[in-house]
Amino acid sequence: MESMGINGAIGGGTEFAPASTYLNTAVCGLLPRRAIEAVCALAAENGAGRAGGPGDFEVVDAVRAAFARLVSVAPGRVAVGTSVAVHAGLIAASLPAGSEVLLPEGEFASIVNPFVVRGDLKVRYAPLDGLAEAMAPTTALVSFSCVQSADGRTADLAAIRAAAAAHGARTLLDATQAVGWLPVDAGAYDYTVTGAFKWLLCPRGVSFLTVREETQESLVPLHGGWLASADGWHSTYGPLTELAPDARRFDEPAPFLAYHGAAAALTLVEETGIGAIHAHDTALAARYRAGLAHLGHAPVPGTTPIVSVPGLAERAPELARAGILTSARAGLLRATFHLYNTEADVDRLLDVLSG
């Protein structure tokens, strides 16, 4: 029997109303009802020309604080933004010419391309399971995902951190496919980047950068504008006189519709609890893996809610016609399980795959 989270969040409850068997969170999470209502409320305020229509910076700071709690850092460590690639680009711009950046083979492009397009960095690749061993005294930065987008494999976080520390390399962790179902300690890394429109159930246009205090001076707030200033509204014209003393100096201008929705979505994640979501999501994935084995299919090994199966990518259109949304990635059929999914969703997917 499916357990129910606070407010009935786990297993769907009243927060979600999918019109399909939605197993595609690694592409985009479903917006909870409360987030939809928050976006619509702000849009109505804006359309009516009322005072609250432009959006609220206090809401943006509430989103910052909620994310900080979820990844166990102080809000002053968190910069808000719109995309992982922009955050990664800021980090890439900070590296001296000739710096070596180590990346896993087949890594998601948003944390690869900003370093490649610089043109004057030495970009080196290694297998994910050999990333720690591939570190060298010449490595300036290791950039990698906590959980791989294509197949759900997890990085050996402790080994990579230890190797980076031994060689004096900085660490950039992409936590996009982890935060929201997996406990993540952002304080263990020099930088983390997280897109919030997947497992955190936020609208597109919400992302986060965390920066260690001792690393903040290594970054130039290239896109901060007046938001990078220490005194906010007093620096809207002309050059700023003082940077914000914390990671807020790296903020991008927030799209308020998305952030008002995010404020509501993150309350649901916090109310339900990462521990409860983790147990729910991984149990569904384990049920699916067991069913696949019974059907004679071998998914990529792992225990994450991202389950990818070699040789079945061509089944994605057939599944979509049956009302089951999955993805074909890197030649794999990828299904993902989150708090709005149930055992019935898993069984329906297995039924269609069984033919």
Give the 3-state secondary structure of residue 302. coil
Mean pLDDT throughout 29-46?
97
* Per-residue pLDDT at 12: 65
Q: To the nearest 5 percent, what fractions of the chain are helix, strand and coil?
A: 45, 15, 40
With beta carbons less than 8 A apart as the criterion, state whether 24 and 198 touch.
no
Enumerate residues 6+ apart whose C-beta is below 8 A from 109. Answer: none
308 contacts 299 by C-beta, under 8 angstroms: yes
The hierarchical CATH code for the domain 6-31+273-353 is: 3.90.1150.10
Q: How high is the pLDDT of residue 88?
A: 98
For residues 198 and 29, is the Cβ–Cβ distance under 8 A? yes
Confidence of residue 4 (pLDDT cuts 50, 70, 90): very low
Number of neighbours of residue 196 by Cβ within 10 angstroms: 31
Q: What is the pLDDT of residue 291?
A: 98
Q: What is the pLDDT of residue 274?
A: 97
pLDDT of residue 232: 81
For residues 151 and 123, the answer to whether their CB atoms sit within 8 Å is no
Closest CA to 250 of 227, 230, 231: 227
Tell me what the pLDDT averaged over the chain comes to: 95
First-to-last CA distance in the chain?
A: 26
pLDDT computed for residue 263 by the predictor = 98
pLDDT per position as a tens digit, 161-216: 999 999 999 999 999 999 999 999 999 999 999 999 999 999 999 999 999 999 99
Q: CB neighbours (10 Å) of residue 303?
A: 11
Q: 3: pLDDT confidence band, cut at 50, 70 and 90?
A: very low
pLDDT digits (tens, 9 = 90+) for 299-339: 999 999 999 999 999 999 999 999 999 999 999 999 999 99
pLDDT of residue 10: 81
* pLDDT, position 14: 86
Domain spans in the chain, listed from the N-terminal domain onward: 6-31+273-353, 57-271
CATH architecture type of domain 57-271: 3-Layer(aba) Sandwich (3.40)
200 CB-near residues (< 8 Å, 6+ apart): 29, 67, 70, 179, 180, 194, 206, 262, 265, 266, 269
DSSP at 200: T
Reported as type and span, the H/E element at residue 122 is: strand 122-126
Q: Confidence class of residue 355 from pLDDT cuts 50, 70 and 90?
A: confident
Q: Do the domains 57-271 and 6-31+273-353 match in fold?
A: no
In the sheet that holds 332-336, the strands lie side by side as 306-310, 332-336, 327-329
Average pLDDT value for residue range 231-252: 91
9 pLDDT band (50/70/90 cuts)? confident
- Which residue type sits at 34? R
Residues in contact with 331: Cβ distance below 8 Å, sequence separation at least 6, in sequence order: 310, 313
Indicate if the alpha-carbon torsion angle 336, 15, 194, 81 is positive or negative. positive
> Residue 64 corresponds to which tokens in the numbers above?
């910052």
pLDDT band for 2, please (50, 70, 90 cuts): very low
Q: Phi/psi at 286 (nearest 5 deg)?
A: -65, -40
> Confidence band (pLDDT; 50, 70, 90) for 81?
very high
For residue 142, what are the β-bridge partners? 102, 171
Phi, psi of 195 (to 5 degrees): -85, 130
Rounded-to-integer distance, Cα 319 and Cα 196, Å: 26
